[in-house]
A and B are shown apart, each in its own frame.
Chain A
Amino acid sequence: MVAPLGATPGVAPGAAADARGPSNGHGAAGYFADDDETRARGLYRLLDEHGAPVGDLSWLDRALARRLYDGMLTIRVTDARMMALQRQGRIGFYGEAMGQEAAVVGSAAASLPDDWIIPALREAGVGLFRGMPLDSYLAQIFGNARDPSKGRQMPCHPCDRATNYVVMSSCVSTQIPHAVGVAMGMRLAGDAGRCAFGYMGDGGTSAGDFHVALNFAGVMRAPVVLICQNNQWAISTPGKLQTAADTIALKALGYGVPPMRADGNDVLAVYDACRRAAERARAGGGPTFIELLTYRVSAHSSSDDPSRYRDEAVTEVWRTQRDPLVRMQRLLEARGWLGAGESEQLAATIEARVREVIAAQEQVGPPPRSSLFDDVFEQPTWLLLEQRAALG
């Protein structure tokens, strides 16, 4: 059964709170005055489920609000188009961020161009928001000759050096030590005023590298913002089978890394929490761990069928009543920052652009056969040259 929105649950709403919505949030003034443990158990929120402000939004202007909303809409529309493409058999795989757009865009908007992004599976939108070209993003999904990574990985593993977007592997949590290392590198190189954003899902917090990375981040006081999108499902594994802790944010406490926990479907809370963490990191104040509580309203990927393992009635509540775009749209409309029909018009423009790029990228052939042997090393060894010659 589904708890009503805003209900106070009987136990702390932790990672195991699969069916419950965010319910105990409060605005900025209270949340950041709390001690670490209270923050790790609490939930920072600036908008309620209906888009009504519950905290200080004096910093929010129309331009930023629209940047956040338009960014979320871009991901929603692009993902929908790509999922359709996958079902038509035109791409091999896709992992969408449906329902998690606030966590993606809110955190991306808190980053600066010189910051680095070390992503997990659902952060391609962070890259796109920061200027990764849609063309190269789609070229990677097609694995064609214009893919900057030369068709080396399955879809949804983009890479964009120009915007400091690091390419991920499909391994879970291995990227978190990299984020800490990038941050250590920034400090060692004397590049003050920048930080690394390291992402993970709730499943990643069970793996060893998560704990190793948090420990290193704390000991080294690395300028890193570690962000967990807790969407409450790791394929079929629910949060309560992932951890017995009340919240994921509590784990950071043991490593001496200050925690925050925010409503991941509230783009303003996500943005503000990440902005505070990033500013502290850039100023030499060390790492922060942020749990963003959200929900995977879609499947894990195009290869998954959640109806086999979870109650989709719960999903339906998140999909229809806790949608991050709807919530922000209500705020924009209340403030007169989004005209009637403007959202539909914007979605149509985005979709037309995506269709145009798909049409172009779909025509591009595969990378040349000989490229198989490039980039194993800076220069191919005699063994690779011999094998390349044999392939012909």
Chain B
Amino acid sequence: MPVMNIIQAVNDALRLQMRAEPKTVVLGEDVGKFGGVFRATSGLHEEFGAERVIDTPLAEAGIIGTAIGMALYGLRPVPEIQFSDFIYPAFDQIVNELAKFRYRSGGQYPCPVVIRTPVGGGIRGGHYHSQSPETLFIHTPGLKVVAPSNPYDTKGLLLSCLRQNDPVLFMEPKRIYRASKNEVPEGDYTLEIGKLNVVRPGTQVTLIAWSGMVSIAEEAAIKADAAGISVEVLDLRSLMPFDIVGILASVTKTGRVVIVHEAPRTCGFGAELIASIQERAMEHLEAPISRVCGFDTPFPYTLEHEYMPNADRVLGAIRQTLEW
């Protein structure tokens, strides 16, 4: 089985789907001849032509707005927003249009647009190449939000997204676009949207993460293990919908939970997870659920590693929850 990185997995999924489904169309800034600034669409222009791999003007509202029109007409557009930090000009199109078309038409006009966008910091990108805006979109009824952490999941989840009929925000962890590598089947396979993955089984603490934070959580779990603490690491994979059954299976076993996310702490998705867990598993909890998050500051440049959760901060939270 070939080893791929996340960029290659995205590329492989897009190529497979474009071969299988002629209505699948890629569009965005620099996605054509250049193959995307991260090369995720590399080679697609050569294979499928300028009609299906469309270099657009630099206007996110136009990229998403025209993708919506194409989807209404029956195509399968896969727009790329070059950095999620630049998605806001299209926010109105995503929130008020894309996510509401099926609902406001009473099911007459589904709008299956899969928006791919790199998220997260750690690449020395400052405010505008580092954000993790998932909460804004999870809070938008009608939109699915999927956030893989590794190449295998990326390919299987992207293929699933491209084959279902709802709009999706597909968040790709750019810091580990190339660093994350694992074995990826060459052919076709899909992973169910809404199912988490137990990355590392454990018994004392449940550690929940997604996207670029999964590798940080694993690193913390290894350090905890060395200190004699057994940590179960859950990779949510999908944030809307999220896998409450999988979370509760772990929480009822461990009784202690730490949530890690890169986005700012206040009103981050961790808050919703804490609320959902305590509503359903209060009697199993041995300690308050804690969070290790980005701060309520704009994403910094020079001090980005102070901002981003790291294994030591996560380990500190694991210890605290055990000592409570």
Which residue on chain B has the smallest CB distance to residue A178?
B69
**Cα–Cα distance between A67 and B102 once the two chains are bound (Å):** 33
A133 CB, nearest partner CB in chain B, Å: 13
Evaluate contact between A149 and B105: CB separation under 8 angstroms: yes
**Cα–Cα distance between A116 and B89 once the two chains are bound (Å):** 26
Q: List, in ascending order, chain B residues with CB within 8 A of A159's CB.
A: 104-106, 108-109
Chain A CB count within 10 A is highest, among B23, B61, B69, B164, for: B69
Name the one of B68, B142, B165 contacting A181, with C-beta atoms under 8 angstroms. B68
Q: List, in ascending order, chain B residues with CB within 8 A of A185's CB.
A: 69-75
A residues 343-384 touching B (CB-CB < 8 Å):
374-378, 381-383
Q: List, in ascending order, chain B residues with CB within 8 A of A248's CB.
A: none
Evaluate contact between A215 and B62: CB separation under 8 angstroms: yes
A166-B72, A213-B65 are contacts. A174–B103 as well, Cβ < 8 Å?
A: no
Asked if B66 lies at the interface with its beta carbon under 8 angstroms from chain A, I say yes
Q: Mark B256-280, 1 if CB is under 8 A from A, else 0.
A: 0000000000000000000000000
Q: Mark A146-173, 1 if CB is under 8 A from B, else 0.
A: 0111101100010111000011010100
Asked if A183 lies at the interface with its beta carbon under 8 angstroms from chain B, I say yes
**Cα–Cα distance between A376 and B171 once the two chains are bound (Å):** 21
Q: List, in ascending order, chain B residues with CB within 8 A of A167's CB.
A: 101, 104-105, 108-109
Evaluate contact between B57 and A166: CB separation under 8 angstroms: no
B residues 81-114 touching A (CB-CB < 8 Å):
89, 92-93, 96-97, 100-110
Q: List, in ascending order, chain B residues with CB within 8 A of A182's CB.
A: 69-70, 72-73
B residues 209-262 touching A (CB-CB < 8 Å):
240-241, 244
Which residue on chain B has the smallest CB distance to residue A211?
B59
Evaluate contact between B166 and A378: CB separation under 8 angstroms: yes
A181-B73, A212-B59, A212-B62 are contacts. A161–B105 as well, Cβ < 8 Å?
A: yes
Which residue on chain B has the smallest CB distance to residue A147?
B106
Evaluate contact between B69 and A118: CB separation under 8 angstroms: yes
Which residue on chain A has the smallest CB distance to residue B108?
A161
Asked if A189 lies at the interface with its beta carbon under 8 angstroms from chain B, I say yes
* Count of B interface residues, CB-CB < 8 Å: 49
Q: List, in ascending order, chain B residues with CB within 8 A of A169's CB.
A: 96-97, 100, 104
Q: List, in ascending order, chain A residues with CB within 8 A of B62's CB.
A: 177, 180, 209, 212-213, 215-216
A259 CB, nearest partner CB in chain B, Å: 20
Asked if A208 lies at the interface with its beta carbon under 8 angstroms from chain B, I say yes
A189-B23, A208-B61 are contacts. A180–B66 as well, Cβ < 8 Å?
A: yes
B residues 111-131 touching A (CB-CB < 8 Å):
none
Evaluate contact between A375 and B106: CB separation under 8 angstroms: yes
A337 CB, nearest partner CB in chain B, Å: 38
Q: List, in ascending order, chain A residues with CB within 8 A of B97's CB.
A: 169, 171, 174, 178
Evaluate contact between A375 and B107: CB separation under 8 angstroms: yes
Q: List, in ascending order, chain B residues with CB within 8 A of A376's CB.
A: 102-103, 141-142
Q: List, in ascending order, chain B residues with CB within 8 A of A278's CB.
A: none
Evaluate contact between A188 and B70: CB separation under 8 angstroms: yes
Asked if A244 lies at the interface with its beta carbon under 8 angstroms from chain B, I say no
- Which A residues lie at the B interface, using CB under 8 A? 116, 118, 147-150, 152-153, 157, 159-161, 166-167, 169, 171, 174, 176-189, 196, 208-209, 212-213, 215-216, 219-220, 374-378, 381-383
The contact sample of 28 A-B pairs, CB cut-off 8 A, is A148-B106, A149-B106, A152-B104, A161-B105, A166-B105, A167-B108, A169-B96, A171-B97, A176-B65, A177-B93, A181-B66, A181-B73, A184-B70, A188-B51, A189-B74, A209-B61, A212-B65, A213-B62, A216-B56, A216-B57, A216-B65, A219-B56, A219-B57, A220-B54, A375-B106, A376-B141, A377-B102, A378-B164
